[in-house]
């Protein structure tokens, strides 16, 4: 039997780290960010709808989408973000569903930073939230991207509140500790999921 497990969190909260551990344990990861990048390439389905909505000003010289420019636009313009989400989320969700259908039985993990925003929890049997206190989240984001505290906070606040995501999830991984400490939490949750949802082939 196939079971779908959503993995979400906030920017710089440690989602990628957790998913790399899950993958190393032999489970399939469906990465929504990677899907978005792939489908946004020239003449892809996301490319076409984004170009239709925002126009050629958001193309690079090679006619690929200028993802950085689009990112700056939606970060500073909530209306533009709503437009972008409305045309891209359905296409990304369809691809996620396609990949889920192709996956073998067992636990299949969907890494989705905007899991709740895109209503992807509706196709998940359980959800894991990768959590970090805002203080540490800000520090890690500043270090990772070389930005100041105000900008880091603005980026964090542009997403759904991480404490709310934590309250909505079935499982929570606190990623403030070491890699090994995080891995212990991941293994414990997977063991619980295998028991609760029934064993299946990976």
Element (H, E) at 85: helix 78-102
50 φ, ψ to 5°?
-70, -45
pTM of the complete model: 0.90
Domains of the chain: 2-195 (3.40.50.300)
Q: What's the CA gap between 104 and 40, in Å, rounded?
A: 27
CB 29 within 8 A of CB 19: yes
Question: Is residue 202 very low, low, confident or very high in pLDDT (cuts 50, 70, 90)?
Answer: very low
66 contacts 59 by C-beta, under 8 angstroms = yes
Residue found by looking up tokens 């939230």 in the block: 129
Angle, helices 45-54 vs 78-102, to 10°: value is 170
109 vs 195, residue with greater confidence: 109
∠ CA 115-85-61, rounded to 5°: 120
Check pLDDT > 60 for residue 201: no
pLDDT(69) > 90: yes
Name the packing angle between helices 45-54 and 32-39 (round to 10°): 70
Structure confidence at residue 198 (pLDDT): 59
Quote the pLDDT of residue 1. Answer: 87
pLDDT value of residue 14: 94
* Whole-number Å distance between alpha carbons of 130 and 99: 23
């Amino acid at each position: 039997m196939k079971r779908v497990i959503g993995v979400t969190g906030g920017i710089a909260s440690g989602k990628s780290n957790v998913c790399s551990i899950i993958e190393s344990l032999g489970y399939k990861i469906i990465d929504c960010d990677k899907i978005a990048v792939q489908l946004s390439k020239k003449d892809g389905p996301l490319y076409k709808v984004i170009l239709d909505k925002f126009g050629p000003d958001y193309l690079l010289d090679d006619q690929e989408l200028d993802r950085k420019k689009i990112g700056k636009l939606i970060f500073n313009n909530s209306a533009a973000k709503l437009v972008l989400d409305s045309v891209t989320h359905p296409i990304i969700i369809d691809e996620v569903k396609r990949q889920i259908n192709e996956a073998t039985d067992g636990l299949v993990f969907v890494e989705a930073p905007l899991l709740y925003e895109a209503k992807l929890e509706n196709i998940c049997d359980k959800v894991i939230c990768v959590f970090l206190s805002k203080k540490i989240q800000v520090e890690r984001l500043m270090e990772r991207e070389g930005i100041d505290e105000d900008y880091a906070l603005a980026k964090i606040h542009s997403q759904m509140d991480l404490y709310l995501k934590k309250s909505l999830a079935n499982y929570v991984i606190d990623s403030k500790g070491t890699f090994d400490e995080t891995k212990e939490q991941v293994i414990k949750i997977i063991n619980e999921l295998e028991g609760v949802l029934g064993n299946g082939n990976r």
